[in-house]
Amino acid sequence: MEIITIDGSYGEGGGQIIRTAVSLSAITQKPIKIINIRKNRKNKGLSHQHIACVNAIKKLCNAKVEGLFKGSETMEFYPNKLSPKDFTMDIGTAGSISLVIQSILPVGLFIDKDVTINIKGGTNVKNSPTIDYIKYITMDILNKMGYDGQVEIIKRGFYPEGGGEVKLHIKHSKLNKIIDLVELNKNNNVVEGIIFNQNLDAQISKRIRSSATNLIMKHGFIPNIKIENIKGSSSGVGIFLKYGSLGSSMLGEKGLRAEIVGASAVENLLKEINSGMALDKYMGDQIIPFLPFYGGSVGVSKITDHTLSNIFVVEKLLNVKFNVEKYKNNNCNGFLITC
């Protein structure tokens, strides 16, 4: 079979292209060659995080991979028949568990038996969806589509030590056609959330919650935010908020006041709510690899570079065409994506 060449420098030229490309290669059984990997980045080529994602898909389809090493700017991936099996992988330090799960999820559509994948690394790290977002937003939306999967958080891991552990459970399933993922369902006014604090002063958690709840109530919503104070091998704090199908996260960091952490998470969520669209900008890119398998349209608040990268790769490997247009209806302000 002819190998499909994908330009890894397309658009934002980041790891999203790699994650989606290897996942769809496993699904379609089409070999791929990714060139110019992260060509425009300061640290060019594959990082440990990207290698972990490739290795996860490699295990699920017994793929042959060439050029899989740190700094590699060209990689070839030759998939074999999907042969799902339980396995454990350690990304190392605080490499994002969420991004590895992103790579695995589309492949889960085509497995013929139940699998449990144990992943060790970082659960709540910068430049990556928090594991809470994957568990409560990504999986919730996919479950409603008919995807039978679950994320189980065993331990939390923060930068730089990591030490987090998550189990991804996937059962053989089939997507159903989505009926309403364009406009946000505003049937209630409750904002749910969790503040996770590992090894730090419990007062920090209370300050974050106080700041978040005050702002939530100021805008006419009812807060229901729990606090999780735990011990672990790494230290960190943050907040995750959920309203319907929308999510927002904010990590604490040295020098950043707890009150700002709480308020920033709320402000980001309010922006998403005010768009009136069913999906936030982060779910907008995550849903792209699934759209071709059921068809239809989704509404997103913003088209990000990651969304465009995913569209580019999916069109290349699945021979489909996406249409993106501005959406303004019923006081909504966002974009409609149709496949």
pLDDT digits (tens, 9 = 90+) for 241-279: 999 999 999 999 999 999 999 999 999 999 999 999 999
pLDDT over 80 at 179, yes or no: no
Supply the pLDDT for residue 178. 67
Q: Give the pair of three-digit tokens for residue 311.
A: 């569209």
Query: Does pLDDT of 205 surpass 80?
Result: yes
Q: Please give the positions annotated as active site.
A: 306
Considering the entire predicted model, what is its pTM?
A: 0.96
Return the pLDDT at 8.
Answer: 94
67 is in an annotated binding site: no
At 34 the pLDDT is: 97
Alpha carbons 142 and 175: distance in angstroms, whole number: 8
Q: Is 16 annotated as a binding residue?
A: no
pLDDT of residue 175: 73
Percent over 90 (pLDDT), the chain: 86
Establish whether 180 is an annotated binding residue. no
pLDDT of 282 strictly over 70: yes
Q: Is 282 annotated as a binding residue?
A: yes
C-alpha to C-alpha distance for 330 and 317, rounded to whole angstroms: 35
CATH topology of domain 1-82: Translation Initiation Factor IF3 (3.30.110)
The order of strands in the sheet holding 334-338 is 297-300, 334-338, 323-327
- Distance separating alpha carbons of residues 64 and 56, to the nearest angstrom: 13
pLDDT tens by residue, 248-258: 999 999 999 99
Question: What's the N-to-C CA distance of the chain in angstroms?
Answer: 26
Q: Is 102 annotated as a binding residue?
A: yes
Q: Is residue 250 a known part of a binding site? A: no
Average pLDDT across the chain, whole number: 94
**What class does CATH assign to 190-271?**
alpha beta
- The CATH number of the domain covering residues in 84-173: 3.65.10.20
Q: What is the mean pLDDT of residues 14-18?
A: 91
**pLDDT score of 187:** 86
- Please report which confidence band the pLDDT of residue 201 belongs to, taking 50, 70 and 90 as the band edges: very high
Residue 65, pLDDT score: 98
